Amino acid sequence: MTEADLGAAPAQIQIRKDDSANWAALAERLETVGHQDSPVDAEHAGWLVGRGTPRSGRAENPGQWVANWAGLQLNPRQRDAVAHALASEVLFLWGPPGTGKTDVVGHIVEGSFRQGLRVLFLAPTNVAVDQALERMCSLLEHEAGFTEGIVQRAGSIVLPSLRSRYGDQVDPGRIAVLLVESIDRQISTATDQLKGARAALALHDRVRDLESDLATATAELAEAGRNHAAGSRTALAADAAAAQLRLAIDKVGLPTGLFADRKAAKLRDLRSALEDEEIRARQAREAVVSAARRHKAADQQAAEARRALPAAHAAIMGIPPRQAVAESAASLQERLDELGRKRKRIHDEVRSRCRVLGATVAKAVQSRKLLDEIDVVVIDEAGMVNLPSAWFAAGLARKRVIVAGDFRQLPAVTKGDGDREASEEERAHSREWTARDAFHAAGLVDPSGRVRQDPRLVALDTQYRMREPICAVVNEVAYPDAPLKTGRGNTSRLPFAPLIDSPVILIDTSGRRIAGGGRKPHMTNAVHAAVIHELVRGLQYEGVLPGRKWQEVPEGERATDRLAVISPYREQVKALKSSLAHRFGEDYDGLVDTVHRFQGSQRPVVLLDTVAGAGKDPGFFYSGTGLSSQTCRLLNVALSRAQDHLVVVADVAFLRKHLAPHSEALAMVDHLEAHAQTVSADQLIPILDAGQLANLSEEELARPAFFEHSEVAAAVEWDVERARRSIELYSAFMDRYPVRRWARMLGLRTAAGIQVTVFTRPPEEQQDPSRVVRHREFVHQLEAVGCQVEFRDRMHEKVLILDGSVLWHGSKNLLANIGPTDLMMRYTDPASCDRVRRLMERTRMERPARAPWRPAEPAESAAPAPEVPAQRTEPTDKVYPGLVRDGRLYLKVPYEQKDDAKRLLRAQWDKAAGHWWVDAARVTREQAARWLP
């Protein structure tokens, strides 16, 4: 959460993952190493970086711990790796693509499990964890306790097959739910039993109460009878005494005469005695009445007890004695109490059952406690794990560390060594500790990137994924010092298709080059996108790939089952996705992506789009050299995804011109030219004449086609005449004759109700005052025939979009006189039209790139030339904030804010000009508004 006040309805919010969060957690964990509560054993962690003397051995009989050892389909090097791992304290397993590393790691974990050890399996990605864990489950699913969680997954399962096959057995949450359900069933059973025991106790108590009631009633009857008789006697005696006292009172008579006082005293005594007797008589009669009532009630109670007792006695027939039932009820209550406590600590119990736990490296770093004890740590895909994280993970092991991976595939994703704001010392530190992997840190790889022989290292040498010609390309690029052997047949498992009748195909786009647009033109290539579009169309036609909107495609024949399209840059990936979504009728997730997204996967057909050719240089993807370089690793991953057919789309001439002489990328090009079946782009995208368009079918018109300079005008004119809704023409420059010619044609279309929009540079961007005037005249000429003219600052794209579906793209400004070498490509694809339109809108600048030129006005003119907003009229050699010159946007940065400008915009100081500046192609005026006038 943020403490910032975003208002009641913020217009736009972006949520971004904090890349530093995992590093902060790692730093916190590393700081505790050496403290009593730290789980890290620094000595064992040191094995990862070549310190200490860990034991290295070889199990004489791995069959003790690995099921069906003799019958397993493992090659000698794979068996050697398992045998070494089960008898060593540390093992580095080098597993190049397709060499069965996952199987080997699975058997190492299986053997460690049967040795009685607890195993923590780690990998850098969730997919890698799930794929390996699924293999381990298949090896251990028949072990006792498997359904109760001896193998578990920490974190979310992302692989559908693992979730469907073993989710209930490996997901701690689902295991806990199942255990809770089991406990709840036990609680329900015990509760029912307790209810039965209590009901039996109630029956026993009923008999006891009835017998007690009968005994009480019988005693009460006797007591009431005695009280009734005694009361009757007392009442009779009191009545007799009262009668005698009345006679005595009558006999005394009135208190008169000589002894009147004496008589009065005697009368008082007699009357007092009479009152006492009357009271005694009344109380005795009340006692008699009460005794009669008690007698009646006791008699009724006794009668009821006598009537109920036979049934109560019958009800307890066959029931254990009351003491036994009471003891059973007490035991059941104790069990219920224990089950309740067990239910509360279920997650701790689930963890205590785990013997093999799979998790990402990040999860291991961030978790305080994954297992109660860890004997073996297995780090898979270790080439992608940064060294501090790997060191921390290795230190969790009490007995054994296994490091598996390929240091010539994707490295760890780090930023420190390329951070422009960091000092050279900081970048060097990053290269040493965060950019290196465990294989390099342990001294298994020399400075040139070549592998060293070492008893700690077992290298798998036979791959089963790629056909031999594909493997040969991979060996040439990534494994010249340790070439892989091929352990599979050399026939394709796909239906025969003439388009891909060879294992390795090079589609050469040399000579069919169209300059890229945007600020990073090297990251897209329209010709390559069209070539791949056509190749996919052909594979659909030949039945290798499903057609547009096919329904109910069997598993194994879907587009993503058979094809991967890999590109080094995200911008080209977006273009290819939109093109192929149109080709298939839907967007397939996982069909087109960057190299990083395909790590760990494989497909029968891989199309590798090298992209290079549309910009001035190939781009950063091709900048590295050496076996440990990013370029080598990325190419290795991209090439080695192919199983049966590898198709590389490349502008060979462009790559040869720009690649370093000894680069792995050039080695790939050399090998492909020497050994691959080479196909020209023209064989997929034909070169047409304008006259052919009218004779093409709608399907043929939808296909990409090249048009030479001499044919472009007539072909475009044919398309313009067929437009029915809209025409969008992008031409940065304009000349008199082309504008006059196209104005006549476009005027006819606007008259027919067609929306025509022309995009061009503002007049102020022209090179001299005379061209400013002419450019304005051309704009007025186009507007006069009904065209809408819009300005795009610094634009250079040459594009025509018709009805939002037909795209003309190339190197020819249709409204300008350009040389005879111009080439245009016609392409029917609404998605590509939208993409190009968005690209050009996104690259629009807020202000012109240069100071405006204005034609001279006569001194007597009443109306001076209009000012261009936000522009300065100082001499052109003077630098001021807001000026863009030579690609630099100059700023006004106070001294106290210079660090902010450097940090936020990578601003630099121009000492001669006395101003700070930023790259105008990278930083927009909106971003730099804080330091602009």
pLDDT at position 851: 40
- Does the pLDDT of residue 489 top 70, yes or no? yes
Mean pLDDT of all residues belonging to the chain: 87
Dihedral sign from CA coordinates of 291, 293, 294, 296: positive
- Residues 71-112 have pLDDT tens digits of 999 999 999 999 999 999 999 999 999 999 999 999 999 999
Phi-psi region of 773 (alpha: psi -120 to 50; beta: other; left: phi over 0): alpha
Nearest CA to 379 out of 354, 356, 360, 363 is that of: 360
- Residues 838-886 have pLDDT tens digits of 777 765 444 444 444 344 444 333 333 333 333 333 344 678 888 888 8
Dihedral sign from CA coordinates of 266, 268, 271, 277: negative
Can you tell me the distance from the alpha carbon of 124 to that of 134, in angstroms, rounded to the nearest whole number? Answer: 16
- Does the pLDDT of residue 538 top 70, yes or no? yes
Can you tell me the distance from the alpha carbon of 420 to that of 918, in angstroms, rounded to the nearest whole number? Answer: 14
- Residues 896-915 have pLDDT tens digits of 788 878 877 888 988 888 88
- Residues 314-361 have pLDDT tens digits of 888 889 998 998 999 999 999 998 888 888 778 788 888 999 999 999
Q: Which amino acid is at 413?
A: V
Can you tell me the distance from the alpha carbon of 505 to that of 488, in angstroms, rounded to the nearest whole number? Answer: 20
- How buried is 832 (Cβ within 10 angstroms: 0-12 exposed, 13-18 middle, 19+ buried)? buried
pLDDT at position 849: 40
In 134-281, beta strands by DSSP E: 151-153
Mean pLDDT of all residues in 541-566: 87
In 293-394, beta strands by DSSP E: 356-360, 376-379
φ, ψ (nearest 5 deg) of residue 888? -105, 130
- Residues 114-139 have pLDDT tens digits of 999 999 999 999 989 999 999 999 99
- Strand, coil or helix: 119: strand
- How buried is 268 (Cβ within 10 angstroms: 0-12 exposed, 13-18 middle, 19+ buried)? exposed
- Residues 259-308 have pLDDT tens digits of 888 888 888 888 898 899 889 889 988 988 988 898 898 889 889 988 98
Can you tell me the distance from the alpha carbon of 30 to that of 710, in angstroms, rounded to the nearest whole number? Answer: 69
**785 confidence band (pLDDT: 50, 70, 90):** very high
Contacts of 421 (CB under 8 A, 6+ apart): 902, 903, 906
Q: What percent of the chain has pLDDT over 70?
A: 92
- Bridge partners of 507? 649, 679
- Does the pLDDT of residue 407 top 90, yes or no? yes
- Does the pLDDT of residue 148 top 50, yes or no? yes
- Strand, coil or helix: 562: helix
Chain CA centroid to CA 865, Å: 58
| Model confidence, pTM | 0.69
What tokens does 104 get?
């080997």
pLDDT at position 665: 96
